[in-house]
Structures are given as C-alpha cells and as structure tokens.
Amino acid sequence: MTTASQLHPRQHLLQQLSAPLPDHPELVLVTDLDGTLLGGPLAERRAFYGWLERQRHRVLHVFCTGRDLGSIDRLLVQDEGLGLRAPHLVIGDVGCTVACGASLELLPAAVDPIQQRWEGKHGPLRALLDGAKGLSPQPISSERRLAYYYDPETFDHGLIAQIEQHGVDCLISDNQYLDVLPAGVNKGSTLLALLDVLAIEADRVVTAGDSLNDLAMFETGLSGVMVGNAEPDLLAALPRLQGIYLAQGHGCVGIVEGLRHFGFAHLLD
C-alpha cells in the first residue's frame, strides 16, 4: 500500500483535489480578481466568463488574488448573473493559501510549506501592529497572513523594518492595503511552486493583473498581461520586467488582448 509520504508531490496534490484538472491543458490562465478578472464592461465580462466555462477542458484557470477564501466564496455566490464560475485552482491571501477551486478546500500539499514559515509569528506581529497609527485590521480570515487597511499619511513607515525583523515581508498595494506575509511568500513564489508540482511547462502559462501585489507574479519570467487599468506603481515597474504585455483594454478586455498577443487567439476564436 502506498502512503501519502511515498507519493510523488504531483500525485499527492492531485489526490487532494475535490474535482479533476484538465488532462492536457493548452493554456494555464492565472488571473487576479479585483480590477482584472472582475474589471471591464459588463458585456465583455459576461462574454469572457462564458468563454472560460466553454473552455474548461482546454484552459486551466487559476484565481491568484489577495482575497481570502470566504471572500471568494461570497463572490461566486453573488455573481449577479454574469456567469463567473469557480476556477480549477485558487491561490489566495496574496500567495499564502492554495485551494481547490470547486470546493475551496485547502490543498495541504501546497499550503503546509507556507504554514511552516508562519509558525510562531502571528502573536508577536499582532502585538506590534494592532493599534499602530495608520493601520486598521481588514476583516479577513487567514492563518498565514495579517492584512490591514493602510493610511500612508499617518502610518510610521519606520515600523516596516521592525516588522520584517520577525522573518516576514511587508507588501503595500493600491496605496491602501498593507499585508504581512511569511518571508519569501507571494503570488509569484506560490504560483511557481504550484506549476512545478503540476509539471506544467512555462510556455503554456499566462498571468494577468493590475495591482502592486501582482508584481511578484510578473517577476517570475512567465508571460504576463498588465491590464490597461493597472495602478501607477505597477506601471512604473514595467520597464524592468521581461515578457509582460501592457494591454490597452481594461480588465477582461485587456486579458483577451493579451491572450491574442501571446499566441492563444486560436482558443478565443
């Protein structure tokens, strides 16, 4: 009898999924949510979500978002008739959570290494940050991350060095959010680890995003679409990034534009 510890990492992860992945996906599409997959005119969003539904056997879709699993669940329930369906996989909490898209159940094979990096940090960090000027906790449920609303005018930026002495990284995005993450964990690192376990070739992967917490995803070397409504701080990083296409269209329109640019027009037509 083969035990879980004897399984290949890919077999172990696939065994934990509550729904199967496409056998041989022609495209792995990794999308941020707010401003990206949830951006653009309603008609174009509806059309794109319908395309994702029709192509589930060919396109492996991954949410890669700062939202926690509870927020993602509410989003899918409150779809308002646009037809957004659960993805195959979810990377949530800015890279600190990996779950099955169908059930939103955690995938321990992917999450356990992240959890190990977070052990012992939650309590001391909360003691340091709760009550700090310019920060107020976000109503987010995560065991591997701290999330705050951030006021750049009143926050003491000297506190960041103290925070990172605890073996964590601070990420400020959209000039209003501050996330505290296990050191070295972000959207990009978690995505690369997941692709490695699944043995997916890089040339089949396209990422898409609009905010500064997507920067790590764009630094992976994978093909990426920076949608037209990207925040200024992310746009400022574009000149040093390789393999990133700046779309004119916003949200879903920009994703489609980028897919055509990277040679996936045959899947769209």
Structure tokens at 230: 């990207």
Whole-number pLDDT of residue 56:
95
Whole-number pLDDT of residue 74:
93
Is pLDDT at 2 greater than 70 in this prediction? no
DSSP letters spanning 142-169: -SS-EEEEE-TTTS-TTHHHHHHTTSEE
The whole-number average pLDDT for the span 128-153 is: 90
Whole-number pLDDT of residue 8:
59
pLDDT digits (tens, 9 = 90+) for 224-261: 999 999 999 999 999 999 999 999 999 999 999 999 99
The whole-number average pLDDT for the span 73-100 is: 93
pLDDT digits (tens, 9 = 90+) for 179-207: 999 999 999 999 999 999 999 999 999 99
How far is residue 118 CA from its own chain's centroid? 18
Q: How far apart are CA 135 and CA 179, in angstroms?
A: 11
> Structure pTM?
0.92
The whole-number average pLDDT for the span 60-71 is: 96
Whole-number pLDDT of residue 140:
78
**162 C-beta neighbours (distance < 10 Å), count:** 12
The whole-number average pLDDT for the span 204-225 is: 97
Whole-number pLDDT of residue 143:
82
Angle made by CA atoms 219, 197, 15, in degrees to the nearest 5 = 140
pLDDT digits (tens, 9 = 90+) for 141-154: 778 999 999 999 99
Is CATH 3.40.50.300 the right assignment for the domain spanning 4-114+185-268?
A: no
pLDDT digits (tens, 9 = 90+) for 117-126: 999 999 999 9
208 or 9, greater pLDDT: 208
How far is residue 135 CA from its own chain's centroid? 23
DSSP β-ladder status, 146-150 and 135-137: antiparallel
Q: What is the mean pLDDT of the chain?
A: 92
Distances (CA, A) of 1 to 6, 115, 200: 10, 28, 28
12 or 116, greater pLDDT: 116
CATH code of the region 117-182: 3.90.1070.10
Is pLDDT at 6 greater than 70 in this prediction? no
Sorted by where each begins, the domain ranges of the chain are: 4-114+185-268, 117-182
Q: How far apart are CA 100 and CA 82, in angstroms?
A: 22
